[in-house]
Structure 1
Amino acid sequence: MRKYILHIFLLVTAFSFGQNPMVKAQIETSQIRIGEQFSLRISVNETNDVILPKLELKGLEAIDSARIDTVNNMLIQKYVLTGFDSGAFYIPRQQVFVKNQAYLTDSLLVNVATIAIDTTKVKKFPIKTIKAEPYTIDDFIIYIYILIAALAIIGFWIYWFVIRKRKIEEEEPTYIALKPYDEAIYKLNELDEKLLWQNNKVKEYYSELTEIIRGYIERELKVPALEKTTDEILETLNDFNDAESIDTSKETLKKLKKLLQEADLVKFAKSKPLALEIEEDRKDAELVIHNLKPKQVIADDELE
C-alpha cells in the first residue's frame, strides 16, 4: 500500500514540476563556436503575477537580456548567451512562478565547438631578434639630478667667491676721514648753506651748531662732549686749561660758554635771538674751533 502511495506522490510531483504548457524554453541553435552568441527564449502563457528566473548557468554566460515583451496574452523574455570554452553544456531547468505556482522549463543542451585552424595555410614568419625598449625620462633621471647638483654647486661658488666678494668691495667706504678741525669747518659751511635761521628755523640751527662744536671737542680733546651738559663741558675744559693740557685762552672758553648757554636758551627756553646775535654766535663758533687745541707735546730729540 505504501509503495502505491509513493508512486502516486512522485507522479503528482512530476506533473507539477515537469514539462508544462504554461512555460517553455527555446534556443535558436544548439551548435555554436567559441565566442559565438545565441538567444534563449522563455515564454509564459500568462502575463499577470509572473516571476521570471535569474539565469544560473555553467560553462555558458549571459551577456544581455532584452526587455520583457507581451504578445497575444503571452509573456516573452529573451537572453543573449555565449560560451568561451569548448564542450557540451546544459542550460538547466529554470523555475518560473506564475501566480505563486512554480513551473520548470526543459533543460537544453548546447555544444560549443572550437575553430579549426589549418596550419598549412598559416603564413610563417622568421623569429625576430630582441628589440631594445625605447629610452624614457626615468632612464636619465639620476644624471639629471647629478647635473642639477653640479650646477647648484658651481652657482654657489661663483656667487660666494666672485659676485659677493665684488659686492663687498664695492660697498666698502672709499672716503678718508677728515681731521677734527677740517671736519668741523666743513660742517659749519654746510650749515650756512642750509639757511635754517633765515627760514625761521632758529632752534634747528642752534642744535646743529652746538652739535658741531661738541663733536669737535669730543674728537680733538677726547672729551665725551656729546653726552655732557653745558656746565659739565665747561668745567672739564677749565680743569684742562688749569692743568695746561689744552692750548687755548680764557677768552676762547668765555665765548664757548656764552655760545652754549645761548643755544640752551633757544632750545629749551624758546629764546629768539636777533639776526646780528646769530651771526655773532656763528663767528664765535668758528673762533672756538680754531683756538681750542690740545697741548702740543715736544719730544726730547726736538729740544736737542
Structure 2
Amino acid sequence: MEVDTTAIHVGDRVAVRLSVDYPDGWAVVWPDSLDISPFEVLDYVVAGPEAVAGGGGTRAAATLTVTSFELGELEIPPIEVAVADPGGTVQVLSTDPFRIGVESVGLDESGDIREIKGPLSIARNWWMLAPWLLLVAAVGAGAVYMRRRARTRPVAEVEKPKVPPRPFHLVALEALDELEGSSWLERGQVKRWHVRVSEIIRTYVEGQLEVPALEMTTGEVVAGLRGAALGGRVTEAFHAFLARCDLVKFAKLRPGADESRELLGVARSLVQMTSGAGGDDS
C-alpha cells in the first residue's frame, strides 16, 4: 500500500494505491466496497491486471481517494484482498495500517472581529395579525372537537395470533436443498448458482448470528463474526466459503458442476456448526 502523504488538513483528499503481484493463472478479488473508518472513501478505481516487467507474473492495482473530517493522528486500517490459485484455494492478503495526521484548517488571524449587533425591532401591526389569530383559534377549536368525538367512539381491538418464526437453520437448510434440486449448473448458470448459495448463508448469518451480512462485504462479515465469538476455526470457515463465492461472482472463476456442488456440503456444515448460537433458540 502506498499513500502520497502523512499529513493533511481536514477534508483534503488523499490517494491510496494498492497493488498485488501474483503468479499467472491466479485470480484477485477486490472488495466490492470498503470501510476504512475514520476515513471515508470518495472514489475507488480498480485497474485491469498487467504483466510484471521481466516475466515476474501479473500485477493488479486499485486506487482509493479518501478523506477524513476527524482531527488527530488517524489510522487507515488494514485492507484485505483475496487471491485464489487455479485450483480455487483462497488466500487472504492484508495491508499494514498507515497513520495520517489530520489538522484543522487555519483561520485568518489578520481579520477584524466585528461587534455583535443587537436584535432588530419589528414594528407590530395588530390589524394585520388579526385574521391569522382567528385562523389559529378556529383550528384549535376544530382539533378539540375532533378529539372529543374520537373519545366517544368505541375502539375494537382484535389481537392477531402470533405465529412463531421458523428456526433460521431450518430455513437455510431447506433453501440449500431447493438449490441442489435446481438445474442452474446443468444450464451453465454457474455465477447465478454461487450468488444464490452465498445469499442463503448471508441470510442465515443475519438471522441466526445477528450480523447484517446481506449489506456487508465479505471482510465486514468476517469482522462481525469475530465479534460474535464463534471461534477462529468457524470464522475462517465462513471466510473461505464467502471468498470462494466472491471469486465466481467478481473474478470470473468458473468451477465445474461437481466442484460447485461441494460448496453445498460446506454450507450445510456451516449452518449445522452454528445452529445453536445467536438468536435461534430451537
Name the TM-score, length of structure 2 as normaliser: 0.39
Structure with more contact order per residue of length (Cα contacts < 8 Å, sep ≥ 6):
2
Higher helix share: 1
